[in-house]
């Protein structure tokens, strides 16, 4: 857990200066400091905790009780003990996962537009149809769903996985034939690490899929000694150029522990911002794009979510229990 204290506008400005982002003016930081103070008070009044994904805006980290990758956030959501409300600063499928583990708590997503292009690429109906077709060819077929999907897709899966544990989950399942949904790039990465037969869905993350080998090549040519760290949602030809392929939190650990001091971070820009703020002695270059969904979450949105208790995540008990089974399987196999 992060200890939260009131921050002044000047202190926030000093913290954000390492980002070299001219939009963080002293005036804006002053406004943010006021909002942060309001949110911290509302959290105490409402007995609320804030869980935030690594891609969130840096000012959101100031009100977060926990920041992490999808796997860490799922584990944290499962283990929440003393809060009545969970405010999820991330995207819809992540807030749904928090609800799956917390049926008795209110889970709020500050902006309902915070979706995900990957999650949108598979529906429960289409998945059920495809599974039926494939089971005629592969009777042992099991479905692994990357957590970037809706709860009703999770409910139809044998196990979920995240970027941190996809290979482990696939290798530990008993089946030899795996339908992997919805990310084609992560599926192809997993196929390279396993002897099992991976049948891929055709979804992708619009943020990672648009990063090209030419962009990585340009950065490498201009900066000798650059270490390339890529997210497994990147295309195969980009992954082939990476020194390490890691989940967002594993990227942070890698950069901290590595002897190298120059890194190209090939994922959403929020992660590079975290690295720039948290590891000041090293150099981080961004081959990144913004995720418009992650960036829907703002301090004003979090304040309004806590004030008006919106937008509440709900799902049927049947879907919740199905998704819980697949998520528990992941936590078990992927541990």
Binding site for ligand 13P (CB under 6 A): 54, 69-70, 148, 162-163, 205, 233, 247-248
- Nearest approach, Cβ of 5 to ligand SF4 (angstroms)? 30
Q: Which is nearer to ligand SF4, 245 or 291 (CB)?
A: 291
d(CA 192, CA 200): 13
Alpha helices in 225-268 (DSSP H): 236-239, 248-257
Which of ligand 13P, ligand SF4, none does residue 142 bind (CB under 5 to 8 Å by kind)? none
Q: 275-304: which residues touch ligand SF4 (CB under 6 A)?
A: 291, 293-294
Q: Which is nearer to ligand SF4, 141 or 291 (CB)?
A: 291
- Asked if 89 contacts 64 with a C-beta cutoff of 8 angstroms, the reply is yes
User: How many chain residues touch ligand SF4 (CB under 6 A)?
Assistant: 13
Which of ligand 13P, ligand SF4, none does residue 69 bind (CB under 5 to 8 Å by kind)? ligand 13P
Residue 46: C-alpha distances to residues 18, 52, 82, 116, 165 (Å): 33, 18, 12, 28, 34
d(CA 57, CA 55): 7
Q: 233-272: which residues touch ligand SF4 (CB under 6 A)?
A: 233, 268
Q: Which is nearer to ligand SF4, 44 or 290 (CB)?
A: 290
- Nearest approach, Cβ of 280 to ligand SF4 (angstroms)? 25
- For ligand SF4, the binding residue among 118, 187, 216, 276 (CB under 6 A) is 118
Structure tokens at 23: 């939009």
Q: For residue 95, which of 104, 83, 86 has the smallest C-alpha distance?
A: 86
Q: Which is nearer to ligand SF4, 153 or 291 (CB)?
A: 291
> How, if at all, do strands 177-181 and 197-200 pair?
parallel
Q: Which is nearer to ligand 13P, 54 or 157 (CB)?
A: 54
Which of ligand 13P, ligand SF4, none does residue 206 bind (CB under 5 to 8 Å by kind)? ligand SF4
For residue 60, state whether it binds ligand SF4 (rule: CB under 6 A). Answer: no
- Nearest approach, Cβ of 128 to ligand SF4 (angstroms)? 23
Q: What is the DSSP code (8-state) at residue 156?
A: T
For residue 35, state whether it binds ligand SF4 (rule: CB under 6 A). Answer: no
Q: Which helix (H) or strand (E) holds 152?
A: helix 151-154
Q: For residue 239, which of 181, 179, 183 has the smallest C-alpha distance?
A: 183
Burial (CB < 10 A; 0-12, 13-18, 19+), residue 165, is buried
Contacting range for ligand SF4; rule: CB under 6 A; set: 123-131, 187-195, 201-209, 274-282: 201-209
Which of ligand 13P, ligand SF4, none does residue 247 bind (CB under 5 to 8 Å by kind)? ligand 13P
Q: Which is nearer to ligand 13P, 28 or 244 (CB)?
A: 244
d(CA 312, CA 106): 7
For residue 117, state whether it binds ligand SF4 (rule: CB under 6 A). Answer: yes
What is the SS3 assignment for 221?
helix
Per-residue buried b or exposed e for 42-72, using 16+ beta carbons within 10 Å of the residue's own CB: bbeebebbbbbbbbbbbbbbbbbbbbbbbbb
Q: Give the binding site for ligand SF4 (CB under 6 A).
A: 91, 116-118, 148, 205-207, 233, 268, 291, 293-294
């Amino acid at each position: 857990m992060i200890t939260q204290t009131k921050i002044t506008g000047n202190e926030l400005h000093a913290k954000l200066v390492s980002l070299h982002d001219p939009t963080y003016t002293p005036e804006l930081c002053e406004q943010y400091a006021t909002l942060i103070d309001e949110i911290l008070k509302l959290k105490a009044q409402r007995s609320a905790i804030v869980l935030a994904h690594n891609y969130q805006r840096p000012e959101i980290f100031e009100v977060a009780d926990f920041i992490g990758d999808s796997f860490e956030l799922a584990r944290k959501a499962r283990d929440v003990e003393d809060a009545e409300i969970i405010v999820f600063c991330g995207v819809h499928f992540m807030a749904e996962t928090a609800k799956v583990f917390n049926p008795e708590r209110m889970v709020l997503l500050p902006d309902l537009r915070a979706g995900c292009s990957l999650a949108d690429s598979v529906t429960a109906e289409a998945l059920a149809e495809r599974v039926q077709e494939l089971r005629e060819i592969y009777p042992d077929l099991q479905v692994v769903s990357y957590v970037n999907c809706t709860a009703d897709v999770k409910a139809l899966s044998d196990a979920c996985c995240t970027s941190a544990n996809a290979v482990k989950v696939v290798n530990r399942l008993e089946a030899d034939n795996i339908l992997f949904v919805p990310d084609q790039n992560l599926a192809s990465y997993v196929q390279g690490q396993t002897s099992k037969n991976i049948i891929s869905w055709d979804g992708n993350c619009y943020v990672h899929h648009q990063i090209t080998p030419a962009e990585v090549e340009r950065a490498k040519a201009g900066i000798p000694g650059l270490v390339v760290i890529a997210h497994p949602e990147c295309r195969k030809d980009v992954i082939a150029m990476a020194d390490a392929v890691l989940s967002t939190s594993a990227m942070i650990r890698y950069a901290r522990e590595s002897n190298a001091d120059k890194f190209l971070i090939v994922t959403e820009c929020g992660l590079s911002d975290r690295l720039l703020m948290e590891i000041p002695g090293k150099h981080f270059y961004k081959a990144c794009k913004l995720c418009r969904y992650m960036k829907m979450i703002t301090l004003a949105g979090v304040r309004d979510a806590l004030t008006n208790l919106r937008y509440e995540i709900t799902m049927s008990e049947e879907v919740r229990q199905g998704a819980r089974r697949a998520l528990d399987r992941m936590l078990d196999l992927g541990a």
